[in-house]
Amino acid sequence: MNTEHKAKPKICCEQVSKTFIQKGNQEVPVISNVSINVHENEFLVVCGPGQCGKSTLLKIIAGLELPDTGTVTIDGKEISGPGTDCGMVFQSYMLFAWKTVRHNVEMGLKFRNVPPDKRGEIAQHYIDMVGLKGFENHYPHQLSGGMKQRVGIARAYANTPSVMLLDEPFGQLDAQTRMFMQHETIRIWEQEKRTVIFVTNNIDEALFLGDRIVLMEGKLPGTVKTEYCVDLPRPREHTSTALLQLRKLITDNTELVL
Ligand SMILES: Nc1ncnc2c1ncn2[C@@H]1O[C@H](COP(=O)(O)OP(=O)(O)OP(=O)(O)O)[C@@H](O)[C@H]1O
């Protein structure tokens, strides 16, 4: 499939490898020679089974882990630690239980000393964008799983990063809410375009969301097996013939159980 792109990539991972030292001083190579380019405003999905190093790759791109070998650049600048380029949304919601929706969304802005008025204005914009208007003063325990994840998305967006990294954000949601959140993710991305890397172990989610899917191998160390361009118009339907044909092509060409 044609995956050529003329513009210079926004994110370049070149030959990235990482080994962790685990219990008993055992060295566990987790990802090996992973090279991925992501283009400005592209929605890239990294798909692979559990424990193939997807989260580790995302953390390296976010600067939360450093690669042993290889480099990651964003806009040509090498990543050597956490910065403001990347917003991250995690599978476990990572909300502050004792803070309201509004204060959770304002958190990053507060750390960056944005004045309270401006913080409120920015937070409200993103609370509205994710559909939580009216829930500003609710606490996380008063929200459903999908709503909590919306807070996580609003919080990440509020810091206006140019890159959004989403690590299996809907893994804890029931099937119906998950599908709804997939629609919402595309609606939000189309409203405020960002370069997105979305990690999932679910091929249907990958096909629904991605401009391109990078498939990772199942055994450690995780490597990139292949990639597919999903050249289908949006909004997509999970059951459309074109989508199901591509699904078959992908699953026929991989021994992974996805
Ligand atoms: N900080 C760490 N120290 C030691 N080992 C780690 C660390 N982080 C991850 N690992 C190991 O790396 C391997 C890959 O983990 P990772 O979370 O990157 O995979 P994943 O594909 O995202 O998995 P899942 O889909 O199940 O979340 C696992 O065996 C995990 O135990």
Q: DSSP 3-state assignment of 239? A: coil
Pocket of ligand 1 (CB under 6 A): 20, 22, 30, 50-56, 201
Rounded alpha-carbon distances, angstroms, from residue 38 to 3, 94, 120, 199? 11, 26, 32, 14
User: Which of 18, 25, 28, 65 has most ligand 1 atoms within 8 Å of CB, for mutation?
Assistant: 28
CA atoms within 13 A on the CB side of 133: 5
Residue 103 tokens read as 């204060």
If you ran DSSP here, which 8-state letter would residue 79 be given? Answer: P
What is the 51 CA–ligand 1 centroid distance (Å)?
6
The fold for domain 1-79+195-258 equals: Rossmann fold (3.40.50)
Please tell me the pTM assigned to this model. Answer: 0.93
Closest by CA position to 257, among listed 211, 210, 205, 202 = 202
pLDDT for the residue numbered 173:
87
Beta bridge partners of 102: none
Please give the chain's pLDDT, 258 residues, in tens.
444 556 789 999 999 999 999 888 899 999 999 999 999 999 999 999 888 999 999 999 999 999 999 999 999 999 999 988 999 999 888 999 999 999 999 999 999 999 999 999 999 999 999 999 999 999 999 999 999 999 999 999 999 999 999 999 999 888 988 998 999 999 999 999 999 999 999 999 999 999 999 999 878 899 999 999 999 999 999 999 999 999 999 988 776 555
Nearest CA to ligand 1 atom 10: 20
What is the 53 CA–ligand 1 centroid distance (Å)?
6
Domain boundaries, the chain: 1-79+195-258
Nearest CA to ligand 1 atom 1: 20
pLDDT for the residue numbered 255:
65
